[in-house]
A and B are shown apart, each in its own frame.
Chain A
C-alpha cells in the first residue's frame, strides 16, 4: 500500500468510512433524516474524490484493482444512482414505524461492494465485491420484515445468490487450475496465445463465471428470480437491484470479456448471442402477461440486459461505449420509474398493480408525467435518452454486422411498446371510466405531495433523460474517452 494506492481507492475508503460513521451515529442518536443526510454526504464526498482518482498517477492497485478512467466513470454513475436511491428510501421508509437507520448502513455497504466490482481486476476482488454487494442486499430486500412478500423475496434472493456464488467460485477455481492466475490481465495474456479456450477446464470455468455474472444481470436462463424479488422488495431497493447491482457486474464482465478475442473463442460469443436473443424475447413476451408494474419492470429489465448484451457481442471500443451509454440512460429511466412507485406506495402495500395507476394523471400529473417519461425512455422513444441508447446499440451492432441480433432487438422492442403503453394508458384514462377505480386510487389520496428533495431528484433525473436524448454529446465524449482502452 503506497499513498498513491490509497489515493486511487479514495472513493471506496470514503464510502466505507461513511458506513462506520452512520453506524456510530445510530448508536447514539437515532434519526432517520440524520442517517440519510450523512449517507448522501458520504456519497457526495466519495464522488468529490473522483477528480483526484482520475488524475492519480498509478491507475492500478496491483494486483486486485484497476482504477482507470473507465472504472472512475462508473463509480461516478453508481454514486449518483445511490444518492437517488437514498433519497427515495428516506421518503419511503418515513411511512414505516420501525427502526430505519440501519438501512443506510446496508445501503452504503452494498454500494461499497458495487464500487469494488467496478475496479476489480482480479477474481478475488471480483468475488469479494460481489459478496459484499449481495449480503447487504439480502437484508435490504427483506428490510420491511412486516411484509411477507419482502421476507420471502429476501430468502429467495439469499438462496439463489448463494448458489450462484458457488457456481462463480467453481468457475474461478477451474480457470485458476488451468492458468495458475486469477488476475484479469494475466488471464488475458495467457489467452492471447491464440488457441483460445484450449481445455475443457477453461471453457467450463469461463462459462460458469459468465453464468454467475448472468445471474446478477438476470439474463435468460438465469432470470427466474427477477420478477419475484423485484415485486417483493421495497421499491427503492428494487431500484437499487435494477441499477447499481447490475451495472457493476456489467463493468466486470466488460473487463473480463475484453480478455477474450471473439475470433479465438467463437463458442463463447455464440453463447452470448443466444443468451441475448433469449433475454430480449423472453423478457418482452413475459412482460406482456403481467399486471404488476414491478413485475413488468422486472421483465423489461431482463429484456434491457438482453439489448445490452448486443453491445457485448459487438465488442471493441464501440461496443463498450454503446453499453456504457445504454447503462446511463437505463439508469436514469429505471430510477425515475421506481422512484415514482416508491413515492406512491402507501405504508401497507406497494402501489404496483396497473389498476393502481388508473387515472393517476388526473390526481397527480407530476408523478404521472415522470413515469410516462421513464417508460417512454425504456421503450426507446425519441426525445428521451432511451432512443439514443438504443440507437448506439444498433449502431454498434450494425458495425459488427450482427443482423440476427438486431432483428431480434427490433422485433422485441416493438413487442415491448404494448406493455409499457398499457401502464401509460392506465395513467391517462380518467377515473370515472370504471366505477371501482376511484376506490383503487384511494391510497394515493393519503400520499403527501412531492417532498422537495424527492421531487427535485426525480426532476433532475428526468431532465437528465431528456438531455441524454437531445444533446448526449458531452456524456458521449466522456464515455468515448474512457472506453478507448477496449
Chain B
C-alpha cells in the first residue's frame, strides 16, 4: 500500500474531518442561540450531503486505502498526517456524517440551557469521530480517539440526567484507562518497527509473544469501548444519563469505534494473537448477547432496555468479527452499521417518549400508542428491527453472523439462539407496553402525536432499516473487499505458522 502517492489532489477527507470544527468556530461567534441551532443543522446537513460524494469516487473492488492524504506532521518523531478510507471506514464515516444532523434535530427543543455550547460539543465530536475512522497514522488516530472523550463527557456531564456527573466520570475513567493501554501498545509498536503508519504496521511478521502483549492492550482498550461483557458497566450509566443526542452518538458511533478498532488493528496487526484469543472472545461475545438480553428484559427504564440491548447487539458484532470467516466477519461489520441505525432510532424514540411524559419508565409510557398512532408505527418498525425481524436490517447482519457461527462451531451457534429469543422478548415487551398498553394505563390525554419535525427526524432511520433489510447487497459490496483482505492477512499468518 503506497501511501506517499496521493490519490486525489483535493483533500476530500480533511475537509470532511475539519469542516465541523470550522462550523464550531463559526458557531462560537454567533450570539443568538436560535441562530446557532440553525447554523449547526445547516452545517451538519451540508457535511452529510457532501460526504455522500465519497461514494462516487470510491472503488469498492479493492482493499486499498483510498482518498489517501499524506503530509508531514511531526517528522521528528515519524508522525505523519495520513488520512484514508477503505470499505469498512467508508460506511462508518457515512454513518457519522449522516447521524449527526439528526442529533441536532433531536436536541432542537430539548436542550434549553447553553444550547450553543451543546452544539459546539456536537460539532467537535463529529470531527473527532470522523477523524478516528479516517486516520491512518497511529498517533493521529489516538489523538482523534481521545479528542472525542472530552466533549462526550461534557455532553453527558452537563446536559445529562440527575446522575450525570457520576455517569460522566465513569465514562471518562473507563475510556481513559483503555486509552492508556492503547498508547502503551502504540509506543511498543513504534519501538519495534520504527513507524506509526497503520498500513505499514499491518501484516508484519511480529514475534508471537509480542503479538500477544500488543493484542492484550488493544483488546482491553477496544473492549471497553465496544463495550464487551465484563467491561460494559459504564454503558448503561452513560446512556441513561446522557441527553438524547448524546445517547444516539454514543450508541451509533462511539461503540463502533471499539469494533472498528478490532477490525482495523487487532486482526491485521496481531493475527497470531487474534487466532490465539478468538475462542475466548467468541464466548465472551456470547456471554454479552445473553447477559445483555436478559438484563434488558429485567429493566423498566426504557433507556436502560435499549442500553443493555446495545450490549447484546455489539456482542453480535464482536462475535461476527472474531469468527474470522467470511460470512461472520462481514455480518459483524454489518451489525455495527445496523446497530448504529436501529439503536440511534430507538434512543430518539425514547427521547420523544420522555419529552411527552417526562419519564422513561415503561409503566408511565404504557398505552402511549393510543394517543400517538404515528409514533407507535415508527416504534413498531424500530423494535422489529432491533429483534432482527426478517425484512429489517438487523436480520441480515445477525443472520450472516449466525451462518458464520454454524460454519465454525455448532455449540457456539446453539448458544446464541436463546439470545435471539430474549431479544424478541424484550423488544416485543416495549412494543406491547408502549404501543398497546394494558388494561389500566396512565392518563395520556394531553399528549400530542409526532410533529412534522419528529416525523422528518424518524423517517430516514425507517428508510435505512428497510433499505438494508431488503437490499443489503450494496452495503455489503462496499466493505467486502476490505474485510476479505483482513481475513486473508489472518489466514496467511496462520498459514505461516503451520506451513
Contacts and interface: CB of A to CB of B under 8 A. Distances in A.
Given A387-B143, A425-B168, A473 B72 contact: yes
Contact of A376 (B74, B139, B150): B150
A375 to B, nearest CB: 11
A383 B75 contact: no
A425 B165 contact: yes
Contact of B154 (A428, A433, A471, A472): A428
Given A362-B113, A429-B157, A410 B180 contact: yes
Given A361-B158, A382-B145, A476-B74, 5 more contacts: A383-B150, A391-B139, A395-B187, A425-B169, A428-B157
A382 B187 CA distance: 15
Contacts of B73: 471, 473
Nearest to A365: B117
Contact of B146 (A372, A383, A473, A477): A383
B173 A417 contact: yes
B76 interface: yes
B56 interface: no
A362 B184 CA distance: 37
Contacts of B117: 361, 365
A268 B13 CA distance: 51
Contacts of B154: 428
A483 to B, nearest CB: 12
Contact of B157 (A395, A414, A425, A473): A425
Given A398-B187, A425-B165, A382 B172 contact: no
Q: What 4 A-B pairs come out closest when comparing CB atoms?
A: A382-B146, A382-B143, A383-B147, A428-B158
A472 B187 CA distance: 19
Q: Please classify the interface of chain B as helix (H, G, I), strand (E, B), loop, or mixed, using the class held by over half of its residues.
A: helix
B146 A417 contact: no
B114 A362 contact: yes
B423 to A, nearest CB: 36
Contacts of B74: 388, 471-473, 476
Nearest to A472: B74
A480 interface: yes
A362 B77 CA distance: 40
A382 B168 contact: no
Interface in B110-167: 113-114, 117, 139, 142-143, 145-147, 149-150, 154, 157-158, 165
21 contacts: A361-B158, A362-B114, A365-B114, A381-B149, A382-B145, A383-B143, A387-B143, A391-B77, A392-B77, A414-B177, A421-B172, A428-B154, A428-B168, A430-B158, A433-B165, A469-B143, A472-B74, A473-B72, A473-B73, A476-B74, A477-B76
Contacts of B180: 410, 414
Contacts of B146: 381-383, 387
A417 B176 contact: yes
A394 interface: yes
B191 interface: yes
A410 B114 CA distance: 36
A392 B187 CA distance: 11
Interface of A: 361-362, 365, 372, 376, 381-383, 387-388, 391-392, 394-395, 398, 410, 414, 417, 421, 425, 428-430, 433, 469-473, 476-477, 480
Nearest to A430: B158
A387 B182 CA distance: 14
B191 A398 contact: yes
A68 B114 CA distance: 51
B396 to A, nearest CB: 37
A107 B254 CA distance: 49
A400 B177 CA distance: 26
B187 A381 contact: no
Contact of B165 (A387, A410, A429): A429
A299 to B, nearest CB: 20
Contacts of B172: 421
Nearest to A321: B76
Contacts of B76: 473, 476-477, 480
A157 B143 CA distance: 41
Nearest to B113: A362
Contacts of B176: 414, 417
Nearest to B156: A428
Contacts of B143: 382-383, 387, 469-470
A382 B147 contact: yes
Contacts of A410: 180, 184
Contacts of A477: 76
Interface in B69-84: 72-77
Interface string B182-217: 001001000100000000000000000000000000
A428 B154 CA distance: 8
Nearest to A429: B165
Contacts of A472: 74
Contacts of B169: 421, 425
B142 A382 contact: yes
A480 B143 CA distance: 23
Contacts of A469: 143
A469 B143 CA distance: 9
Contacts of A365: 114, 117
A395 B186 CA distance: 12
B219 to A, nearest CB: 19
Contacts of B114: 361-362, 365
Contacts of A429: 157, 165
Contacts of A425: 157, 165, 168-169
A431 to B, nearest CB: 11
A428 B117 CA distance: 12
Nearest to B165: A429
A194 to B, nearest CB: 32
Contacts of A476: 74, 76
B445 to A, nearest CB: 31
A430 B157 CA distance: 9
B150 A381 contact: yes
A206 to B, nearest CB: 32
A425 B156 CA distance: 11
